[in-house]
Structure 1
Amino acid sequence: MSTIAIFGSYVLSREDGRQHVLRDHWVLLEGKTIAAVTRNKPRADQVYDRPSRFILPGLLNLHNHCFSEAVARSHTEDGNGCRHDQSIVYTVLLPLTKRGADLLSPEERLAIARLGILQLLKGGATTVMEPFRNTIPEMFDAAEEMGIRFYGAPYLFSTSDAKAGPDGVVHYAGDDGAADLVTWDALYQRWHGRGEGRIGLAMSPHATDTCGPDLLKACAARARELGVPITTHLAQSRAEVETIGKRYGGRTPAEYLDWLGLLAPDLLAAHCIACTDDDLKLMAARGATVLNCPRVFARRGVTAPFSRFAEHGVRTVVGTDGYNMDLLGELNAASIISKTSSQRADVANSPELIESVTATAAGIINRPDLGTITPGATADLTVVDMTHPHLQPLYDPRRALVALANRANIDQVIVDGRVLVDQGHYGQGDEAAITSAGAAAIGRIWELPEAREVLAG
């Protein structure tokens, strides 16, 4: 069994169930397991003794969209592509990812998937939950090949072509989502447990306004039968709230899910920016989780403060959604946006935000072996280089991590005891080739007439 010893000037440990920063300790990995955390330098096959490293449990990013993020990149800033008080989900992302998945070859789709996984790893994530169209199964191939811990969440829809009509509302009739459930089952049978257990599936009915009651209930029943998480988009916009209210007797999106039995501890609900205070109280009572992705909304001038959800007692974690894929940068945004919107400096503090992408996130997906640096835990680590000028002089590594650091400071990413990123570089493949191939494939989508129309500006 191979062994790795890593020196940390700072190691994020736990003491009496709370975060505790150890000074000048070694973390010893034996195979896929953390064997020891010790002051004394252990003997090991590989030794990494670098100054001023902050060793964290592997960071968990429970909401990201590799493919659609790439489709929209550098086009949808400054309000481009938005209309009808709708997010760009229904005007840009869903239509173009559907068209792109149909247009591109499997190898081209794989190239985009690799580009996304590369960014996630270089951004410090060891685990990702990734909702995507079920016509892009190459996401699984890329994740297995590149070594990340991956919860694939192929979408299910009640309509085969989810996009906003002229009135800004997603209409559907005739489809019931049964075919998507069959596809999800086939992907589960093929992929769940692959990659020596690193690959899993989550059930992902897309959103409240694209999934009817029968499909949502069927998704929940199947997910609970298999014991997998359920993730969906909830209250992403005022338009969604109005649509659900008209369809289902004045219910809010959260009340709609509660009516159907989905609002429960196994539900991970992305965004929730249009939830009322009563909705959040209901979510807290049911034990549901909010996946907070503040930057994707901030670029539209919309606040999505982590602190609002947390202060209502809702379990809240931070993800990157379809924008930027820099998890450390997202923690910084969650902090600043919360402080600005509440006009309080003490909310969304550094330990709380770090907890949201380590121990809290691991608990949500029922993986107590992740999100912690303790003997016996799984050997997933994120190591940050704190020697950069903007991080020095250094007093509190947690505050520096959230307030000042970003993905450029990621030194190592280790998954299952395997060093995937070292000194900031992905070591299992050619970064330049991965980037070039992925960008070229996205370029083919950008050349489509419908893409030129919606992305013009």
Structure 2
Amino acid sequence: MTTRLAVRARWALIHEDGGPRIVGDRWIVVEGDRIAAIAGDRPGGVDVVVDRPNLFVLPGLINLHNHVFTESLIRGRSEDLSKALYETNLVYGLLMPFGQLAMQHLSPTECEAIAEFGLMQLMKSGVTTLMESFRAGLTDPFVAAATRAGLRFYAGPYLFSTPDLDIDAEGKPTYRAGSGDADAASLAEWRALHQRHNGGAGDRVRVILSPHATDTCGPDLLRATRRLADEIGCLATIHVAQSREEVEKSRQLHGRSPTELLEWTGLLGRDALLAHCCFSSDSDLDIVKRFGATVINCPRTFARGGVTAAFGRFHDHGLRTVVATDGYVPDIISELRTAGMVSKLAANDPGVATAAQLVDAVTGQAAAALGRDDVGRLAPGARADLVAVDLGGVHVAPVVDPVNALVWRAHASDVWASVVDGRLVVGEGRYLAGDEPAIVARAVAAIDKVTRIGESAGILGRAK
């Protein structure tokens, strides 16, 4: 039987006449997995009703870059580092070693507990679609957690030429050259995972290509990724110019910047999503623009290291620019606020990175980056992915413009309800797929286990 659901909106961000606009006092009516109508009167014959006086209803928020697993493992250990430690140690001295320890010592059930812990936090901030990249061995636990949660999930099992970079006492990798055997093994594992999971959970689960970075994937693997993307017709995402050292190593090894390397190997295209690009030159960004690729801006993860990752720089360069959490703080609403503030400071201009641009970055622009027109908008016939945010709190009122209020004053705790494919997944601010305290307890126990192993292995000593 088809479920009918209705959400009362004091304000709604609907898609009409070719673009988004705010309307007042509407009911968003859902039948099955689609938006059936946007009506002025309360509909009859409804199975589920979400009704609260000051709800702002907008398309479900789309988060296209995240690593909640590894970031959860080092929570509380990546802030207030020295500049030298942050630049040399965060990725290769903490994130990757802790991820590897977890893979070696945790059971699939424990890995799934950490995955659900992170997904729950994101969903409670309004995320209905998530692109998550992780080591290939975590695919089954992540897909299981995302399926149970009801999330629309783009899984990105990593491709590596050099999956186990030698790390010295200072946390620096040696950047060993990749081998054809390593490339082939990584691609074969990806194909198997794609066959097993792509299209699962009523097509809410998709498996995409995720070569890790230009310093861990050789040119042959990047070329093979492009061939596979064309063969299967799927998206590809990769870290690009996320550190000065990566840019320097790319020039030393290949005589090209990371972006030029992607151009040379053919990976760039409208189906390519490039995470960070913090240390990309303007000429690099010109290349990205020419190929129509998307830049994923994750400002807060870099701000903790004193690095400016300004949404406004990429957006004003004419690039499709989306905002994502990178896993550091799994809260997409506060990430939007950070993106705006960092951009205004970087440009010394309060008019850049407006609330409307930032909300568009995680709705319409993010949907375009996915190559979809059935998500990222509220309109009859679109997928019933939506979020309802309560703007009635003292920290928000009075509301002059709900988009402005959402970005500059609202919190994740103001998310009252979220719907994915017509199913209520967050209700009255609660995650509905499981018991929240129990999920936290299971995850913390697994994280503590990895921490103890990391302490014994001397990994944590590198972060001091």
Same fold per superposition (TM over 0.5): yes
The aligned residue for residue 259 of structure 1 is 264
Per the alignment, residue 94 of structure 1 pairs with 96
Q: Residue 107 in 1 paired to residue 113 in 2?
A: no
Tell me how far apart the structure 2 counterparts of residues 261 and 435 of structure 1 sit (CA, whole Å).
Answer: 43
The match for 1:430 is: 435
Q: Which residue of 2 aligns with 1:76?
A: 78
Corresponding residue pairs, total: 456
What is the CA distance between 1:285 and its match in structure 2? 1.1
TM-fit CA distance, 1:114: 1.2
Q: Which structure 1 residue ranges, 5 or more long, are not aligned? A: none
**CA distance in 2: counterparts of 1:174 and 1:412, whole angstroms:** 46
Alignment partners' CA distance in 2, 1:106 and 1:70? 16
The two structures have a TM-score, normalised by structure 1, of 0.97
Residue equivalent to 1:370 = 375
**Equivalent residues of 1:19, 1:351 under 8 A apart:** no
Deviations 1:413-435 (A, max 9, x none): 11111101111101221111111
**Deviation for aligned residue 1:170:** 4.0
Post-superposition shift, 1:83? 2.9
Cα displacement string for residues 420-457 of structure 1 (whole angstroms, at most 9, x for unaligned residues): 11111012211111110011101111111236534654
2:191 to 169, 185, 190: 185
User: What's the secondary structure of 2:186's corresponding residue?
Assistant: helix
Do the aligned partners of 1:56 and 1:382 also contact (CA within 8 Å) in 2? yes
Matched, 1:168 2:175: no
Name which of 218, 239, 244 aligns with 1:212: 218
CA distance in 1: counterparts of 2:166 and 2:308, whole angstroms: 24
Alignment of 1:52-451 (within 5 A): 52-79=54-81, 83=85, 85-86=87-88, 88-137=90-139, 138-162=141-165, 164-165=167-168, 168-173=172-177, 175=179, 176-249=182-255, 251-448=256-453, 449-450=456-457
Q: Which residue of 1 aligns with 2:42?
A: 41
8 Å CA contact retained: 1:152, 1:199: yes
Aligned to 2:302, the other structure's residue is in SS state helix
Cα displacement (A) at 1:167? 8.4
Question: CA–CA distance in 2 between the matches of 1:174 and 1:10?
Answer: 53
8 Å Cα contact 2:74-2:98 kept in structure 1: no
Distance 1:427 1:84 in 2: 37
**Given the superposition, is the C-alpha separation of residues 174 and 21 from structure 1 closer, same or farther in structure 2, using an over 3 Å criterion?**
closer
Cα separation, 2, equivalents of 1:455 and 1:84: 11
CA displacement at 1:140 relative to structure 2: 1.0
Aligned pair in 2 of structure 1 residues 200, 215: CA closer, same or farther (>3 Å)? same
The question of whether the paired residues in 1 share the 8 Å contact of 2:14 and 2:378 is answered with yes
296-305 vs 176-185, which moves further: 176-185
Following superposition, the deviation at residue 322 of structure 1 comes to 2.5
CA contact (8 A) 2:89 2:463 kept: no
3-state SS of 1:27 partner: strand
Amino-acid identity (%): 44
User: Partner letter of residue 176 of structure 2?
Assistant: Y
Contact 1:80–1:455 (Cα < 8 Å) also in 2 = no
Distance of aligned partners of 1:183 and 1:80 in 2 relative to their CA distance in 1, 3 Å threshold: farther
One-letter amino acid of the counterpart of residue 117, structure 2: L
- Contact 1:170 1:210 (8 Å CA) reproduced: no
- Tell me, which stretches of 5 or more residues in structure 2 are unaligned? none
Shift of 1:45: 1.6
What is the deviation of 1:174?
5.5
Q: Amino acid of the residue matched to residue 235 of structure 1?
A: A
Amino acid at match of 1:130: E
Determine if contact 1:101/1:135 at 8 Å carries over to the other structure. yes
**Alignment-mate amino acid for residue 128 of structure 2:** T
CA-to-aligned-CA distance 1:104-134 (integer Å, 9 cap, x gap): 1111111111111111111210000000011
Give me the whole-angstrom Cα distance separating, in 1, the residues matched to 2:178 and 2:286: 35
| SS at structure 2 position matched to 1:36 | strand
Alpha-carbon distance change, 288 to 397 in structure 1, aligned in 2, over 3 angstroms: same
| Shift, 1:163, TM fit | 5.5
Name the CA shift for 1:374/1:84 in 2 (closer, same or farther; >3 Å). closer
Contact 1:87 1:237 in 2 (8 A): no
| Worse-superposed segment, 12-21 or 126-135 | 12-21
Offset, 1:387: 0.8
**8 A Cα contact 2:211 2:238, kept in partner:** yes
Q: Counterpart of 2:316 in structure 1: which amino acid?
A: E
* RMSD (CA atoms): 1.5
Q: 2:6 maps to which residue? A: 5
In structure 1, distance between residues paired with 2:107 and 2:82: 28
* Contact kept? 1:151, 1:201, Cα under 8 Å: yes
Matches of 2:83 and 2:310 in 1, distance apart?
24
1:344-386 C-alpha deviation (Å, 9 max, x unpaired): 1111101111011001111111121000000000000111010
Q: Residues 370 and 377 of structure 1 are in contact (CA less than 8 Å); yes or no, is this contact kept in structure 2?
A: yes
- In the alignment, the residues of structure 2 paired with residue 202 and residue 80 of structure 1 have an alpha-carbon distance, to the nearest angstrom, of 35
1:84: how far off?
A: 7.8
Change (3 A) 1:232 1:456: closer
Distance (Å, rounded) in 2 between the aligned partners of 1:86 and 1:221:
33
Runs in 1 of length 4+ with deviation above 6 angstroms? none
1:17 aligns with 2:18: yes
Q: Secondary structure at the match of 2:221?
A: helix
* Deviation (angstroms), 1:90: 1.1
Q: Aligned AA for 2:190?
A: W
